[in-house]
């Protein structure tokens, strides 16, 4: 079984995935990094060259490749589970956790970040609010467990997830 983390940009998926993998002695795969390594392009470059549809196509291929592995903590990208097929494949491969964050949390964390093409708008707050409200129901529908990740450190979040995993193992 894998542990899969999903949620909006800036929710902490990558950091928490590394912590969990270290604690559980599992491998860690970050889907965006996997895409960058296998294509030899940065995510922003893929968006520039092929647009969002091109990126989503690479992302779908990455999901089916990565889900063939076992015993991995997988950090998805913020849009990965919005694709119904991706959500099904990821759910089948393990337990899916949604790290739930508010607009304010995302804005505070990504105010000065320029690596997310979808947030490169003059009004970043509005871009986050619009995308997050459209995506929230889909994250909730896709996941097995939802974790409030607003006022919690990555260590706290990882502890919460470890607690749930332990219960599942009983």
Q: Which residues bind ligand S3P (CB under 6 A)?
A: 9, 13, 32, 43, 77-79, 116-118
* Least distance CB 64 / ligand S3P (angstroms): 16
Q: Is 78 helix (H, G, I), strand (E, B) or coil?
A: coil
Decide whether 85 or 163 has the Cβ nearer to ligand S3P.
85
* Least distance CB 157 / ligand S3P (angstroms): 15
* Least distance CB 1 / ligand S3P (angstroms): 22
- Among 167, 157, 149, 143, CA closest to 23: 157
* Least distance CB 35 / ligand S3P (angstroms): 8
Decide whether 79 or 94 has the Cβ nearer to ligand S3P.
79
Decide whether 33 or 164 has the Cβ nearer to ligand S3P.
33
User: How far apart are alpha carbons 96 and 144 in whole angstroms?
Assistant: 5
- Among 121, 93, 105, CA closest to 153: 105
First and final C-alpha spacing in the chain: 15
Decide whether 6 or 95 has the Cβ nearer to ligand S3P.
6
């Amino acid at each position: 079984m894998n542990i899969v983390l999903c949620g909006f940009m800036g929710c902490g998926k990558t950091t928490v995935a590394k912590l969990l993998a270290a604690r559980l002695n599992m491998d860690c795969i970050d889907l965006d990094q996997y895409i960058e390594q296998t294509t030899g392009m940065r995510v922003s470059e893929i968006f520039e060259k092929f647009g969002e549809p091109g990126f989503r196509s690479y992302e779908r291929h990455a999901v089916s490749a990565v889900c063939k592995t076992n015993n991995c903590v997988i950090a998805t990208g913020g849009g990965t589970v919005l694709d119904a097929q991706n959500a099904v494949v990821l759910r089948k491969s393990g337990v899916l956790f949604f790290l739930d964050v508010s607009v304010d949390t995302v804005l505070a964390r990504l105010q000065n970040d320029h690596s997310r093409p979808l947030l490169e708008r003059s009004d970043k707050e509005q871009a986050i609010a619009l995308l997050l409200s459209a995506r929230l129901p889909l994250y909730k529908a896709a996941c097995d467990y939802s974790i409030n990740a607003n006022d919690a450190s990555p260590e706290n979040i990882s502890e919460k997830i470890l607690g749930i995993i332990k219960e599942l193992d009983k």
